[in-house]
């Protein structure tokens, strides 16, 4: 591969692309990083050189050969990958030692609680009430999420289906996204979940939802960046999901979904009660539940 083609590749891909042409010293550097490239984000050039048992000059030359101006530029690239939420690039940059058995649960609880408090502290009660009112009055409610965010969309659709009719997942049942998106119209409300490592078509999706005339709520993490006003939703709720561990914490967004469902239930009151009563009657008639 030509050196000028390396700029199109990620750090891991660059390391693999020219590995066979590297010197023995350079390979020692790569071998120290290959399975844990995220460590570049936290290692200085000197620390990496000591780990690979090579000189700092060798480290500098290798990363210049990989297409970076310096080792520090490679570190910035690694930090960007880490910020994107890639588990692979987060795996060895978090807390390395698991807490002892006596602290395992309490340490995890503390981490979940911090993320939950950080998320809920950013909520505006007036906005929550406004969104719940929109969910009550909407013709249809669409829940949208891909990859890890799909679980959030499914949870939202499940809870809201218990208190109102016409709630659906936008991409579901084997149909393409465009085929489902064509059904979204003015009068609808779309709940979009866009936690980090979003799909490439996320920004065009947001613009298409705005163009449809539907009112849109977006729940996303701090990495969200929608510079074009045409892609911005009516409401945005930012969730704190990042922790010191390699897997993001979704306690916050799940809590927001439950809060919105509860508020929607309160606003629907009699209608929701009648619907839930019909559902319970059908459960009994069909013998679906224990």
**Per-residue pLDDT in tens (0 to 9) along the chain, 290 residues:** 445 567 777 777 787 778 778 888 888 888 877 656 667 777 888 888 888 889 999 989 888 888 888 888 888 877 666 655 454 444 454 445 555 666 778 888 888 888 888 888 888 889 999 999 999 999 999 999 988 899 999 999 999 998 888 999 987 667 788 888 888 999 999 999 988 878 888 888 898 999 999 999 999 888 777 777 777 888 999 888 877 777 788 889 999 999 999 999 887 766 656 666 666 667 676 767 66
Structure pTM? Answer: 0.64
CA distance 232 to 216: 9
Contact by Cβ (8 Å): 115, 251:
yes
Distances (CA, A) of 11 to 19, 51, 140, 287: 12, 19, 44, 56
Distance CA 266, CA 242 (A): 32
Beta bridge partners, 141, equal 167, 189
DSSP codes joined into one string, 224-284? ----SGGG--SEEEEE----SSSS---HHHHHHHHHHHHHHHHHHTHHHHHHHHHHHHHHH
In this prediction, residue 89 carries a pLDDT of: 47
CA–CA separation, 120 vs 110, rounded Å?
15
Which residues have a Cβ under 8 Å from the Cβ of 2 and sit 6 or more positions away?
none
pLDDT digits (tens, 9 = 90+) for 42-63: 788 888 888 888 999 998 988 8
Domains of the chain plus CATH, in order, are 3-90 (1.10.10.10), 106-286 (3.40.50.10490)
> What is the predicted pLDDT for the residue at 216?
93
Over the stretch 225-245, which tens digit does the pLDDT of each residue have? 777 777 788 899 988 887 777
8: how many CB neighbours lie within 10 A of its CB?
10
């Amino acid at each position: 591969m030509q050196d000028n083609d390396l700029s199109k590749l990620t750090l891991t891909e660059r390391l693999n692309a020219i590995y066979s042409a590297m010197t023995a010293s350079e390979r020692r550097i790569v071998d120290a990083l290959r399975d844990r490239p995220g460590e570049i984000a936290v290692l200085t050039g000197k620390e990496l050189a000591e780990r690979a048992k090579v000189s700092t000059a060798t480290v500098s030359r290798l990363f210049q050969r990989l297409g970076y101006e310096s080792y520090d530029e490679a570190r910035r690239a690694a930090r960007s990958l880490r910020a994107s939420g890639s588990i692979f690039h987060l795996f060895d940059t978090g807390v390395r030692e698991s807490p002892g058995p006596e602290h395992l649960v309490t340490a995890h609880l503390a981490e979940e609680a911090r993320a939950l408090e950080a998320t809920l502290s950013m909520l505006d009660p007036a906005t929550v009430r406004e969104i719940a009112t929109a969910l009550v009055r909407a013709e249809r409610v669409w829940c949208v999420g891909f990859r890890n965010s799909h679980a959030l969309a499914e949870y939202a659709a499940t809870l809201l289906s218990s208190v109102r009719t016409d709630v659906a997942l936008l991409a579901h049942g084997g149909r393409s996204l465009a085929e489902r998106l064509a059904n979204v119209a003015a009068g609808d409300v779309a709940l979009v979940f866009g936690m980090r490592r979003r799909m490439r078509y996320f920004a065009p999706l947001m613009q298409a939802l705005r163009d449809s005339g539907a009112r849109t709520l977006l729940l996303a993490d701090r990495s969200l960046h929608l510079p074009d006003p045409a892609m911005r939703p009516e409401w945005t709720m930012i969730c704190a999901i990042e922790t010191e561990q390699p897997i993001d914490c979704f306690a916050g967004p799940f809590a927001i979904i439950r809060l919105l469902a509860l508020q929607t239930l309160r606003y629907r009151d009699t209608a929701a009660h009648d619907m839930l009563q019909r559902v319970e009657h059908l459960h009994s008639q069909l013998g679906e539940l224990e």
